[in-house]
């Protein structure tokens, strides 16, 4: 049984109080013992797409970064480029977006490295024994780091039901080609009765796979690689997955990618899940989303499976309902948790330690 540490949060607390709770969790879990002098420490975080407001606030993690630096190691903030069109599709725009949200070396005292390189070509193929995959593509600057810290903002997700630690690893540490492989089974279709021919899906499709025919958007399934951008973009709910198994395949591949990320890093990784400003969709949306429930708190663990399971259990306990399933009834988030446990990434059983 794994240990998961938890510190609750009230509404509208200060950045200083939140950062203090992060340090309390860090000390209670003994994460200080992970880091050694001169080793590279990748701190994986999502910087938030343009106009997004729910992402982790840089001020919440500033003291944490100082604590890690005291170990005389070499920490840096990291993310990878996105599959969809936006401000994080290449390293230059990605870095500028991160700076705009306050993630700068001047503010936080550590650099940012986009771990898969300028055009997402900086990765290595890692052999694994998965149900679907025998190798995965991992961004080199994640792979070459000796220790990993995952700071995950918990949200709902249009394709996976939930985004938390497992998604931050599996999807978040993959180059664009690896993300494409994970999404390959997602094949959206257009409901012609709902389509309003507004053209947004065409504008945002990164592969040019959508065109108008007879006044209705049509998707070329041979060009489509399943990024789901059209589903997220459509204002009229006219585009959905073409078959129910696509979410299952995506989540299981995502867990297998996480297996590759953690390979040979036993005892060198730790996880924080922020149950703050929880939104229906992920921080990749370029808009300010309303939160779907009150802030709950922050979790910490050495085990990505246990921390994600504790996250879902707390959401159910605090909201009185399975909030994520209500938001995305067709996408069972338990698939990623269960498959990650089957792969040996961690345990679904845990001891919750409140501090």
Q: What is the pLDDT of residues 117-137, one digit of tens each?
A: 999 999 999 999 999 999 999
What whole-number distance in Å separates Cα of residue 250 and Cα of residue 232? 16
| Domain ranges (residues) in the chain | 2-182+257-354, 188-241
Task: Give pLDDT, residue 229.
Answer: 79
Task: Give pLDDT, residue 221.
Answer: 87
Can you tell me whether residue 344 is helix, strand or coil? coil
Q: What is the pLDDT along the chain (355 residues), one digit of tens a residue?
A: 999 999 999 999 999 999 999 999 999 999 999 999 999 999 999 999 999 999 999 999 999 999 999 999 999 999 999 987 789 999 999 999 999 999 999 999 999 999 999 999 999 999 999 999 999 999 999 999 999 999 999 999 999 999 999 999 999 999 998 998 999 888 889 999 999 999 999 998 988 999 999 999 999 988 998 877 788 789 998 998 754 568 999 999 999 999 999 999 999 999 999 999 999 999 999 999 999 999 999 999 999 999 999 999 999 999 999 999 999 998 999 999 999 999 999 999 999 999 9
Task: Give pLDDT, residue 250.
Answer: 96
Can you tell me whether residue 343 is helix, strand or coil? coil
| Beta carbons of 116 and 80 less than 8 angstroms apart | yes
CATH number of the 2-182+257-354 domain: 3.40.50
Among 216, 244, 241, which residue's Cα sits nearest to residue 227?
A: 241
Task: Give pLDDT, residue 243.
Answer: 46
Task: Give pLDDT, residue 231.
Answer: 81
Please give the backbone phi and psi of residue 315, each rounded to the nearest 5 degrees, phi first.
-60, -45
Task: Give pLDDT, residue 83.
Answer: 85
**CA dist 241 → 65, 85, 132, 197, 238 (Å):** 40, 19, 20, 19, 10
Contacts of 318 by beta carbon, 8 Å cutoff, 6+ apart: 293, 294, 296
| Beta carbons of 340 and 305 less than 8 angstroms apart | yes
Task: Give pLDDT, residue 244.
Answer: 54
pTM of the model as a whole: 0.90
Among 81, 75, 270, which residue's Cα sits nearest to residue 165?
A: 270
Fold for the domain defined by 188-241: Alpha-Beta Plaits (3.30.70)
């Amino acid at each position: 049984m794994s240990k998961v540490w938890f510190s609750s949060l009230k509404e509208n607390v200060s950045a200083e109080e939140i950062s203090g709770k992060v340090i309390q969790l860090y000390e209670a879990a003994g994460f200080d013992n992970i880091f050694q002098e001169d080793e590279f420490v990748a701190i994986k975080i999502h910087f938030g797409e343009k106009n997004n407001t729910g992402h982790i606030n840089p001020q919440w993690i500033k003291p944490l970064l100082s604590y890690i630096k005291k170990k005389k190691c070499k920490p840096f903030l990291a993310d990878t480029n996105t599959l969809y069109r936006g401000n994080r599709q290449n390293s230059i725009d990605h870095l500028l977006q991160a700076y705009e949200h306050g993630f700068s070396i001047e503010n936080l005292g550590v650099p940012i490295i986009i771990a898969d390189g300028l055009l997402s070509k900086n990765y290595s193929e890692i052999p694994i024994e998965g149900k679907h995959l025998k190798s995965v593509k991992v961004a080199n600057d994640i792979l070459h780091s000796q220790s990993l810290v995952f700071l995950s903002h918990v949200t709902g997700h249009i394709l996976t039901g939930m985004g938390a630690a497992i998604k931050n690893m599996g999807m978040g540490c993959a180059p664009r080609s690896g993300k494409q492989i994970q999404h390959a089974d997602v094949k959206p279709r257009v409901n012609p009765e709902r389509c309003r021919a507004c053209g947004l899906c065409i504008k945002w499709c990164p592969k040019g796979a959508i065109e108008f025919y007879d006044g209705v958007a049509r998707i070329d399934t041979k060009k489509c690689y399943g990024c789901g951008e059209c589903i997220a973009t459509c204002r009229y709910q006219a585009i959905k997955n073409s078959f129910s198994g696509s979410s299952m395949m995506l989540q299981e591949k995502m867990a297998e990618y996480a297996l590759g990320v953690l390979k040979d890093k036993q005892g060198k990784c730790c996880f924080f899940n922020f149950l703050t400003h929880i939104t229906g969709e992920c921080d990749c949306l370029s808009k300010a989303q309303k939160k779907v429930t009150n802030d709950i708190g922050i979790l910490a663990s050495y085990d990505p499976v246990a921390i994600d399971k504790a996250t879902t259990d707390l959401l159910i306990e605090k909201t009185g309902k399975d909030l994520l399933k209500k938001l995305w009834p067709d996408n069972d988030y338990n698939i990623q948790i269960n498959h990650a446990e089957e792969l040996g990434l961690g345990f679904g059983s845990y001891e919750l330690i409140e501090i």
